[in-house]
Amino acid sequence: MQREDGIIFTYTAFAAIAALLYVFCLSVFVQSYGSMTVPSYVTLLAVILAVYLLAGLKTHMNIIYELKRDTFIFIMLVLTMALRLVWVLTVNTDVFSDFYLYHAYALKAAKGVFNNYDPTYSLFPFKFGYPLVLSLVYRISGGSILAAKLFNVFISMCLMPVVYHLALKAFDGNAARTSVMLYAFWPSQIMYTSVLGSELLFTLLFCISAAFFMESLVHTGMKSYLYFSAFGAAAAFSGFIRPVAVILILAATIYLLFLHTHESFHPSIPQRLASKFGMPAAAILGFLVVSILQNQIQYNLTGVSPWRSSSGFNLMVGTNRESSGKYSTADEQLVEGYKNDFARFHQVSWKIAIERIKSDPLGFVRLIEEKMVVQWTNEDYGYYWSTLKLEKVNGASSFLLGNPKKIQYISFLYYVVLVSLALSGCIHIYRNRLLPPAIFLLVLEGFLVAHVFLEVQSRYHYPVMPFIIILAGCGLNRVSYLLSVKPAV
């Protein structure tokens, strides 16, 4: 394993440890007693017990870790598919809100009609990405909502081996297997599979991008540059679905400039400098080439330029104390008169946001904690969006609707356990100076910083969950090892 004793690595590890510890404390001592209405000490004891049970279970699952890799992956693929397929076929989630707009536009696009869309799409050009991909599914299926949900199941299955690969490159085979098992049983992801949201496809493409990056680190010469270009291209594809993909490009650039060691590849200083700056350049080139091509295609189809940034409104929403940084109709009404002028709409939004921060900086600091609670301690998006509107209610969905707090608490507790294990994984990374998984820490920190300013929702932390799960896989292995070691007599 490469090691780095630099101060940047130390700061990166400490920042991730501090962030996860803060999220854990907010989850246990604020969210648990607040939205979950469960005493904090009960949740804390439940987390400790769950970690202890998982660690004990792990030590008695040697047969799983001794399976051949292909056999293990096949079993986990079947398990991943089965859990999500049962949910999709049992819970008849209807399309509504943004999900309906995705569905409606995908139906039109499947028939070759690309210029008939909801007016908000011209203000937020990134919204075209997911329904344009979904339209390809509808071309084959004839517009079946069930086909779109089955596509989500397929996406979930594809993400499983990507998680395995990322964990394998970052740690080892044991961590990869543990991570995959934690992913397979992730409750919110299972439930969210029946929702036509862009997060599933985006997260798959985002993690594939990260996988290319991890692969590029273990190669030298031209092959390394090709992998970096592929990484940039894959990041551009994920950016086609959600623009926050740029966080991965920024994280990778920081990693290459300040963390990655080049001495073993290039003995001379000029070669090391060329490598240090050439690798980010290759990634950015791949990103720009693919972005230009796909954005030109989208512009030709829709007449809306994807190059226009829609961050102004998002920033305005994220600085609203009254709504805790969540979407509100009050914010929309502030710029209602500019909806036919994209530039003015986001320019005025930016102005309002900056003025909010400048006029009450201490209030903005207090808002940050409120937003942290909303986005990083709340795992209700899977249950909430999959059961809020149903086509029909059957026995299973009737039970789910009748026990919202219990289902949500199970999902919440699973999440808090993952965060606690990820914290253990981060400590392991720091103590052993492990460089490869540092990219996960940078991505996590990038999302945290971005949503200090931008709009928050609980489902907006979904894309970093695979990285948290991988860190948790490492952490669970470590905890299991520590509990199994008998003290010296």
Could you please report the per-residue DSSP string of 90-143?
A: HS-BPP-HHHHHHHHHHHHHHTT--S---THHHH-GGGGHHHHHHHHHHHHHTS
- pLDDT for 30 equals 94
Specify whether the CB–CB gap between 167 and 182 falls below 8 A: no
Q: Is 390 helix (H, G, I), strand (E, B) or coil?
A: strand
- Could you tell me how far CA 378 lies from the centroid of its own chain? 14
Contacts of 163 (CB under 8 A, 6+ apart): 176, 179, 180, 183, 207, 466, 469, 470
Q: What average pLDDT score do residues 353-357 get?
A: 95
pLDDT digits 0-9 by tens, 168-207: 999 999 999 999 999 999 999 999 999 999 999 999 999 9
pLDDT of residue 484 exceeding 90: no
Rg of the chain taking only CA atoms, in angstroms? 23
Q: What percent of the chain has pLDDT over 90?
A: 77
pLDDT digit string, tens, across residues 114-146 = 999 988 898 888 899 999 999 999 999 999 999
Residues 6+ apart with CB under 8 A from 149: 88, 93, 193, 194, 196
Q: What percent of the chain has pLDDT over 70?
A: 95
pLDDT in tens, 388-401: 999 889 988 899 99
Residue 272's pLDDT is 61
Decide: 118 and 304 in contact? Cβ < 8 Å: no
- Mean pLDDT estimate for the chain: 92
Query: Per this entry, what is the length of the chain?
Result: 489
- Give the CA angle between residues 196, 201, 203 to the nearest 5°: 120
CB 140 within 8 A of CB 148: no
- The pTM (predicted TM-score) of the whole model is 0.94
In this prediction, residue 268 carries a pLDDT of: 57
In the predicted model, is pLDDT for residue 264 greater than 50?
A: no
Q: Which two tokens stand for residue 429?
A: 């990374």
The residue ranges of every structural domain in the chain are 7-484
Q: What is the pLDDT of residue 380?
A: 92
> What SS3 class is residue 64?
helix
Rounded average pLDDT over 140-158: 96
Q: Using the structure block, give the residue that is written with the tokens 């039970």.
A: 399
Per-residue confidence (pLDDT) for residue 488, from 0 to 100: 46
Count CA atoms closer than 13 A to 236's CA, side-chain side: 21
